[in-house]
Amino acid sequence: MRTYLVVIDETEEARLALRFASRRAAKTGGEVHILALVEQADFVAWGGVQATMEEDARDRAEQLVTAAAGSIFDEMGVRPAITVKPGEAIDVVKVMLEEHPGIAALVLGAAAQGAPGPLIAHFTGVNAGTLPCPVMVIPGSLSDAQLDDLS
């Protein structure tokens, strides 16, 4: 089955990428896999403080994916798989692609203005030809209506 992997955060471009992926999945009989990354706290001298910071980041990521999953299920009828992982974004995405050979596309959102984020820069850069699936970059400047027409 065709699975669209979407890396989300709290940005508008991530919301658009998820909307696109969920609409494509609904139209093609595919699935959506949502990946939320847990930001690692920089080293803090007091281990308890660092553990609390990391736990708070994980809680925020879990709330984000839960809300996103509910939203796409309500709107598109697509029940996504959810993964919340700590680590460096590029490394986590690489591992996800290796561990899930059914992923048919990596769907990333690009900000409407400014330089692309580190995931887009990495996965569409020098090593793009070695990926196990296509990368779909969804422009943040698209309206929901434009996105719906494309998907």
- pLDDT tens column, 30-77: 999 989 887 665 555 555 655 666 666 666 767 767 766 667 666 766
Residue 51: domain span: 3-150
Domain total for the chain? Answer: 1
CATH of the domain at 42: 3.40.50.620
Indicate yes or no: pTM above 0.85.
no
Q: Which residues contact 34 (CB under 8 A, 6 or more apart)?
A: 6, 8, 18, 65, 68, 69, 80, 81, 82, 83
pLDDT digits (tens, 9 = 90+) for 73-93: 667 667 788 888 888 999 999
Alpha carbon distance 140, 12 (integer Å): 7
- The answer to whether 99 touches 85, Cβ cutoff 8 Å, is no
Cα angle for residues 55, 60, 62 (degrees, 5° grid): 95
